[in-house]
Amino acid sequence: DDPPVVDENDERVADWMRAADRALAANRLTTPADDNAYDHYRQVLDLDPDHAEAHAGLKRIADRYAAIARRALAANKLSSARLYTSRGLKVRSDHVGLRKLREELAAGDRLAAARPAPEPPTATAPPPAPAPKTVIEFDGTSVSSRGQPGSGNIIKDFKSAWRSVFN
């Protein structure tokens, strides 16, 4: 009996599928250029255009981009939401969720463009400068008009100031 013939293409497809699944698990969806899920699934589809698992893998990539874009949109990170939506649509241009996201982002852009520009802030006068410090010399003792740090008890502080001036 002859051993079963193993098709070389089947081995390559299996290798690419394993590599694609590893890349997908590591969130290497479309980058880096040398090892990402999208490129590995595309290699499989170039060899076998009807490969169901590779098509399902592309859908999983697009689904993941849709989820990431939704989170970015919820966090009001619009440029990130646009980027992930665009990347997902490059993987699957027919992805319903990503198309809806693109429409929502475009509608938001149109609303933002239709809003009047905010009024420039009005100029306000700068706060007044503090009063100049006046220093009075009396019998070799100087007292500042701003006073010296006190105890917090106004009567004690007044008595102390009175004694320093008149004693």
Could you read off the pLDDT of 31-54 as tens digits, one per residue? 999 899 999 999 999 999 999 999
Q: Which residues contact 146 (CB under 8 A, 6 or more apart)?
A: 133
Question: What DSSP state is assigned to residue 68?
Answer: H
Angle at 34 between CA 42 and CA 25, to 5 degrees: 70
d(CA 154, CA 141): 21
**Residue 28, SS3?**
coil
Give 129-156 pLDDT, tens digit per residue.
Answer: 776 666 666 555 555 555 555 666 778 8
Its pTM stands at: 0.64
Going by pLDDT thresholds of 50, 70 and 90, the confidence category of residue 117 is confident
